[in-house]
Each structure stands twice: as C-alpha cells, then as structure tokens.
Amino acid sequence: MGLSLAKLTRPEAGEALPRERLFARLDAARNCPVVWISGPAGAGKTTLVSSYIQSRKCRSLWYQLDAGDGDMASLAYYIGEGLKAVVGRHVSVPPSLAESRQALPDFTRRYFREVFQCLGQSALLVLDNFQDVGDHTDTHAMLAVACEEIPQGCNVVVVSRTAPPPRFARLRATQRLKEIAWAALRFTVDEELAIARRLDPRRLMSREEMEKLDAHVRGWITGLILLLERWDDFEGVGFVNRSDCHQYLFDYFFNEVFAAANASVQQFMIRTSILPNMTAAVCRQLTGNRAAASILSELVRGHLFTCLAGAQGPGYEYHPLFREFLQHQARLCLDDDEFRRLQNKAALLVAEAGDADSAIALLADAENWRALSGLVQRHARRQIEKGRNQQLARWIERLPAAVIGRQPWMLYWLGMARLQYDNQGARAMFERAYKKFKKERNSKGLYLSWCGVSDAYRFEHNSFAGASRWIDELGWLLRSCPRPLDAELRGRLVFSATGLLLWVKPDHPDLPKWVSRLESLYRRITRPDLKVMCAGQLTIYYSHMGEVEKLRQVDRWLRKLEKKGGHPALTTSIIMALKSSIDWLTGELKMSNALMDQHQRRICSQGITIYSSLSLSQSLYHAASRRDPGRIEVLLKRYADNIEDDSILGQCYYQLHSCNLEILYGNYDRALIHGNLALELANQSAVPFGIWFASALLAYLHTEKGQYEQAHRHLRATRDIVVPMGSSAGIAHADMLHAYLAYCQYDIDGARRHLGAAFRRAREKDIKASGVWPPRMISTLCALALEYGIEPDYARCLIRIYGYSPRDPRAVSEHWPWPVKIHTLGRFGVILDGNPLVVETRPFDLLKAVLAAGGRNVHEQIIMDMLWPEAEGHQAQSSFKTTLHRLRKSLGNVDLLELKNHQLSLNGACVWVDSWAMGRLLERAGDCVLRRDPAQCSELSRMIMDHYRGKFLASEPASWAIQQRERLHVSFIRHVTALVECVEEADPKTAVYRYQQLLEIDPLIESVYQGLIRCYQAQGRTAEAKACHERCVEVFAGAASTAKSSR
C-alpha cells in the first residue's frame, strides 16, 4: 500500500487568526480523552486545530481520513506508517486482522495503547474529515473501543462535519468525550472584523457594518471570506447589488451540498426553504415526504447548513445564506402560481403549529391580504397580552395602507399595538376605527375603540385638549348602545371612562358612579397588573377628593398584593410608586429617601422609563413635605432628564415642583415665574388638577407679595374647580388660602371664619397633606388656630408631622406647643412642658437679668454686674457658673440657654417670651401706622392690648429691671396711641374704647386724653368730651401735688 504524504501532514496554520477564545475551550476540553469538533464545511475546524497545535507546541500525529479508511485494518496500517514518520517507530498490524473480526476489539485496544506510548505524554492524535469514513463502518466501533485506552494527558481530536455517531454514546455518557460544536465555532463579530482587516487592510469596515453582514453569514467564516473577496462595495451592507457575489456562494452550496443529495432530498430542501424554521411534522405535510424527520436529522448531523432551533420541541432552520440558495433554486424549479400556493399552504401549516410570526411573513410575501388580516385578528389579542405590541404593529403594517384603512378592526388593533409606544398615533387609529364602527353600528367595536381613545390620552399624559368631546361621545354611546356588554368589556369601559372623566372633567356628576364601579372591579379581577392599574386610578381620585381613609385602604390592598410576590418589574414599580404617594398623602412620611432612591435606580436599570417620572414626582413631594430643598434640587435635575421638552404636562409638573422649591427658599419673585409658567402649561393641557395646583400656589405667592387683588383672582379660580368637584381636599385648601389672605390683610374675623371651616373639614376627613401646602402658610394657620382654639388638636398634629418650629409662622403666641414659656408682663412665671415652675429662687434671677438685657447675646460680665455687683471678679465668675448650672437643671436640661464666646442667649426655637412677642407686635405697629389702614390698625391695636398684661417684671425692684420696664411701657403707649389715632375717623367707637383701655393702664398720658376728647367731639358727645378734659386736669393736678409732697 502506498501512503499519500498529504494524509499525514498537518495543514499549516500560517498566519491564521489566533482564536484564544476557542483555544481556552480546547484546553478545558482536553480533560476528556476525546475532543470532537463538529461544524459545517468551511467553518474553520481544521484551521482551528492546526493553529492550536502550533500555539501550544503540542506533539501530534495528524491523519486525514477518507472513504478508504472504512476498515480498521487499513486505518491501523496508515496510522502505523504515520507514527513511523513522526517518531521513528512502527506498530505492526497482524496479517490475519482483516479476516478476523472477532480479534478486532482486542487488537484495537493493544494497538492504540502502543500508539500513545510511542507518541508520549500530552500528545494529540488528530483524525480529520471523520465524516468521509461513512456511516456504517467498523471504524466507528473500533475507534470507540480505542478511546477507552487513551492514557491520561493524551487526546484523540476528531474533526468532522457531523456530530458523534451513536457508537460514541457510551463515551458521552461517561464524560470521556467533549464536543465543541458549530454554535461555539461560529466566528464572533470581533473575529470577523479581524479577518476582514487581514484580508484587506485598506478596507475600513465599521463594527455596525460587520454586524449587519454577520446577520447573513452567522459566523460562517468561509461565507464571509467569499463575500469579502468578491464584493468590493458593500453599500452599507444592504445587499442591494449582490448577484455576482451570491452566485459565487450559490456555486459553493450547489457543489458542496445540493449536488451531493439525491433528487428526493433536493426537492425536500427546495420546498421547505420557504419556512424560516421548521418542524418535521410541518415539513412532512408541506412536502408529502414521509421521511421528513430522518432527512432533517441527517442534514443536521452532516452539518449541511442546517441546525436545531426552537426551545419548544425539535425544530430546525437552514443557514440564512443556504436558505437563500434553496429559495433561488425553488424560483427556478417552480412557476409563480405553484410558488404562491406553496407559500399559502406553508402559512396555513405554521399557523396551525402556533408559529403566527412565520405565517404572517409567508402570507405577506404571497400578498394574500385577506388571509393575513384574518390571522392578525385571531392572534392580535394574545399578542397584546404577551406584551408583543410592536410585533403586532409590524404584522399589520405588512398590509397595504388601503387594506388597513378599509377594516376598522385592523385600525383598532394597530392602535392597540402602538399604545404606550406612540400614543398620538394610537389615538389617531382608534378615532378612525370608531368612525367606521359607528357607520357599521358595531357596538363592541365602538366601545373598544372609545376605550382606546381614552387610554391613549392618559398614557400619553401630555395634553387632554380636545378630550372633552369624547366624554360627550360616551354619553351618546351609552344611550345608543345600551345592550349588555360582556364582563371583560364592561371592566375595560369602567377603567377607561373613570380615567378620562378624572383627568378631563372631575366635576362630572357621573364620576362617583364610575369610581364605585372601579372599586368593585378591583375586587373582581385577579391579574396583579390590572389590579395595580385600578389602584392607581383610585389613588388619584381619593387624593384629590380628600378621601384619606380610602387611600389607606388602597395601601392595604397594595401591601397584600406585594406580599404574594413574583410580579413583573413594571407591576412592582407601580406598586412602589403608589405606596410612596400614599405615604406622603396620608402624612405618614415613613418611607426613607434611601428606599425611594433604590426603587428609582431599579426602574432605570430595568428600562421602565414610562413610570420613572411618576416615581421621581413622588420623591419630590416627599422632599417638599420634609422641607429638604437640597434634595429637591437633586431630584429636579433627574426629573428634567426624564421628561420630554414637548411634554406639556411633564413641563407643567416640573414648573410646579420648581415653584415649591423657590417657596422653601423664600424666593417669591422666582417662584412667581415658575408658578405662572405652570398655570400657562396647565391651561394648554386642559387638565383641571394642574390649573388648581398652579392657581393655588399663585394665590399664596401674591398674598406673600401683598398683591391681594391678584391673590383673590387666583383663589376664585381654585374654588371654581374644587367646589363643583365636591373635593374636600380642594375646598379645605381653598379655605386655608382664604384664611391666610384674610390674616395678612389683618381681617382676623375673616381669617378665623375660613380657618375654622378649613381645619374642621380637614380634621373630619383626616387630611394632613397636600402637594401645595406652603410651610409658612400652614404653620401660621396652625399658630392662629391654637391662639383662638380652632381645632387645636388638629393644628398640633400638623405641627408634629411637619416639624414646624416657632420660626416658621409669621407670628406665634403662647398657645404654640413651646417646650418653655416665660411670662414677664405683669408677673414673672416659667412653664415647662405645660407645668409651672417655682421661680422664687436665685437661678431664676439670672433668667430675669438675661431677659432684662434683651435675652440675646448678653455678655456674662453684664450679668455679673447686674446680679453680683459687689463681688470680686473670680467670685462673681464662680457664682455665675454655679447659678447657670442650677438654672439649666431647673429647666430640665432643655437646650434653652446657649453660652458662646462668653455671651448668653435664650434659644428662640424652643422658648416663648411674652415681652419678645410684644416687641414683634410693636414692630408691626410702626409699619401699619405708615400704611394708615384703619382696619389693620384697629386689629393690631386689639392684639397688642390683649397681649399687654402689665409692666415688665413689675415686682422686680432692681434698677436693671426698671430701665427695661419703662422702655417697653413707653413703646407700648406710643405705638398703641398711634394706631388708635389712625382708627379715630373710620371707627370712633373703637377708638374711644382703646383710649379708655390705655387710661386704665396708665392715666397719665396726655395724648390719650386728647385723642379721647377728639373722638367724643366727632360723635357730638360734648358733655363727655368736657368731662374727659376735667378728668385730665384733675389727674395731672393730683400727680403734680403728689410729686411736690414726695419732695
């Protein structure tokens, strides 16, 4: 026997691309004695093994099998000859071996044991082109036996176009064989790019272009090289002019695969190429060939550009380029009518098999629009339920526009497919469908397309302008088509009708009925995603109506639903967003910033952008409720990145949140800019809620700016929305605004009236939060409520929830829940947490001295001079420290007294002092007198008179107390007199009363007598004016006489 040198020569790898990814897999695979590398022709198998041997510098014996190696004797002879050429040793074969089949197994074991002993440790025996041996030879059986004898560290590497034959099943089961199959051999895009650059360094091919090319060759390196060598201009890899290049590939497929198959298999491949993927059953029905299963199996096993595909059951598919070749052959062999019949038959079969995608593609290629439309209608709903909206849109868009336009159901399903992705486009489809259904009087279609219009408006959440006509249309629909609908359609209608009424016309008289039906719907449905959507609608309604207890009920529903677990990411994100909103709407504020931020990151990582803005908005309301402007700024930046520039409502909400931020900073001018922009956008969007919120904020801001006419205008706009709605939350908020506006205009009676209505309604409904409750306004109203006994428990509750300090309101009285209250006017007293303290001790003399010196930043030396004037310096210092310690102890270690840089101050955040409160009132009096507003002057004079209960530390004889006492008393008389003078002309009766009060406090005020006489004269009360004058003369004469006597 002559031996061809080529059979024993390892092909040179040359400058082949080192495929380190596969080298690593080969390293790992060599833990098994047999490594089987399988893939189609031209997959790079031989080059891979050769370059691996070259890279790893392995000792190897390469043998290329062919049909002549079908018997073991021939194979053993040639391997022996090859071994002699490689290592200089020969392993002989007994002459009788070819005739004695019984001796084969034993011989094979001994023979290969000796072969590997000759090769040495870590050697490789490579058997290339194993598929050429054939299917039914002794070689399969004997090699399987031989592989049992491979010593550790040595390997047999089989290179084949086919997978391991059944004879090697035992090796697989015992994990002595590792296969590296076609899926792993496929070249990656990066590897393909490297190959392309090696072939022609001048060709500049982008990764994107290669990815498009790879979609055709799918990692088949020979196909890629053929394309690259024959195709100079890829034209963006669009395969426009490809006839020459593809002819080259087609010739390859024809010679390597097609020509080698018999006529029956050729016809089978031609007809089945119409299928993008196949099953044996479909192929059998399509071709009538009962051997379909075995043909497909052989094509896969032979790596004839056919592979297994499909996760459910055995499926197959041709390589894309091979499929193009087969379809080209089909066009040559079949006339147009036969090819179209084949397409229609294939579409019917794959549709019955459950592959609607392939059926749609086949019917579209066949231009069978009627069948395609019917198939879409049968599968459309299921596609929507599976979330394959965009795939459904692609199905329908395969139809000509004219065909779609003639069929209302196609328009409807195209609208459903676009919903949440292109809501404007979806709404246009629903409106066209509704118009056609109306002509046909198709009640089901009418209701469904109406619901689609409603859902498109709400999902877009951009502008509801024009949506009111659809509310009118709903009325017509309910009157014209009242026949009973199925339960599912009724549920859809309840959800859609409630949503549109809520956003467009929340004052509609039927809205409460629809909400009641929505509550019932929530209890009936079982799907978690539908439940949370219902809960979302209810949360919006309850929050705007002020139904706090029902909000808590929704929260309990959500928590119960959440505990079941296993929800999709979208459902989980909606649950979290709703829980967050209910948390601040109920005033609980238990949800941490960290938890909300974690939820936001999860939404972003999962790509659920549709609810990202909603989640951020709730975080913003949380931050506003906690009065955390720094966090609001951070969240606003994220929020701005999440909304589109042309989103009217999104931009409106952004301006509202920005307005709230500037309010927290006290930048009312900048807040007005944001508020006006928000109102403009809200009007564009035609959403009453947005108009309500923006108008309410503007009413507050104009109040702070003293622009009361504008404030009243925006307040009326707020009431015009919330009163027809019957919104407890809205009406309570409007009443609060009205009370604050009246208070700022010194209309205390009006403030008390509106505040009583607001707090009573809020307390009854347990309303403790709003997205438009400015802290300064609410804290001031709480202070006013405590002062006048208006729902004091509710006021204290708000103070506790929002942590209002005495510095937040415009003014606070002793009724505020101060930790410490100090009375100095008329009497001296200290109240700690509602309990009076014994103050007749030395430590409280120190407190008096601090108060007499102003109470803030009083140097300790001044205090020592006041209390221990005779003491030496160090003694006075010691007495001061001891007394201060005792005073702090008496006050329960409250952080009341702060000593910094030798200066002692009372902490104004936790102590109320009546003389300080008086000082603030007197400061306001000066401004009020300048404005000359009689009503304001009258009310402020009343407040000062009520507050003044006697002279400062009246029982303290020390000179330092007397000086402060006289200063405060003189200031009190001067300011009240000035206020009353402003009231004389407008309200002389009140002026008379105030003058009389002043004279009771201090009868030696000449200006007061003069004012009183003016008032009497103005009223024509001459006798009383004369009596007043006489009293004045008498009092001053008596005072002068007393003064002389004392001298």
Question: What DSSP assignment string belongs to 292-341?
Answer: HHHHHHHHHHTTSSEEEE-SSS-EEEE-HHHHHHHHHHHHHHS-HHHHHH
The answer to whether residues 657 and 639 touch, using CB atoms and an 8 Å cutoff, is yes
Specify which residues 36 forms β-bridges with: 158, 179
Which amino acid type is present at position 584?
W
Can you read off the two tokens belonging to residue 190?
Answer: 């990066």
Sequential DSSP letters for 884-951: HHHHHHHTTT-TTEEEETTEEEE-TTTEEEHHHHHHHHHHHHHHHHHHT-HHHHHHHHHHHHHH--SS
Nearest alpha carbon to residue 573 among 525, 620, 605:
605
366, 340 Cβ separation under 8 angstroms: yes
Largest Cα span, the chain: 161
Other C-beta atoms lying within 10 Å of the C-beta of residue 841: 13
DSSP string, 662-721: HHHHT-HHHHHHHHHHHHHHHHHHT-HHHHHHHHHHHHHHHHHTT-HHHHHHHHHHHHHH
Q: Residues of 647-674 as b/e, b for ≥16 C-beta within 10 angstroms?
A: bbbbbbbbbbbbbbbbbbeeebeebbeb
- What pLDDT sits at residue 237? 46
Residue 672: both structure tokens together: 């007005």
CA distance 1047 to 1041: 10
What are residue 830's DSSP bridge partners?
Answer: 822
Measured CA to CA, the distance from residue 248 to residue 225 in angstroms comes to: 11
Helices 775-788 and 748-765: crossing angle in degrees, nearest 10, is 100
Ranges of residues in the chain whose predicted pLDDT is under 70: 1-7, 67-71, 73-74, 88-104, 136-138, 226, 229-248, 303, 309-314, 484, 607-610, 893-894, 1043-1047
List b or e across 445-458, with b for residues whose CB sees 16 or more CB atoms inside 10 angstroms. bbbbbbbbbbbbbb
List of domains in the chain: 5-185 (3.40.50.300), 242-367 (1.10.10), 383-504 (1.25.40), 818-909 (1.10.10.10), 917-1047 (1.25.40.10)
Percent over 70 (pLDDT), the chain: 93
From the CB of residue 508, how many other CB atoms can be counted at a distance below 10 Å?
Answer: 20
- Spatial separation of the C-alpha atoms in residues 422 and 405, rounded to whole Å: 18
Handedness of CA 216, 219, 222, 224 (dihedral sign): positive
Considering the chain, what is the average pLDDT of its residues?
88
Q: What is the pLDDT of residues 965-1019, one digit of tens each?
A: 999 999 999 999 999 999 998 899 999 999 999 999 999 999 999 999 999 998 8
Q: How many CB atoms lie within 10 A of CB 181?
A: 16
Write out the H or E segment, with its range, that includes residue 373. Answer: helix 369-385
pLDDT in tens, 330-374: 988 989 889 999 999 999 998 888 888 889 989 998 999 999 999
Tokens (6 digits) for 722:
């919330």
pLDDT value for 3: 42
Quick one: tokens of 840?
A: 């007749």
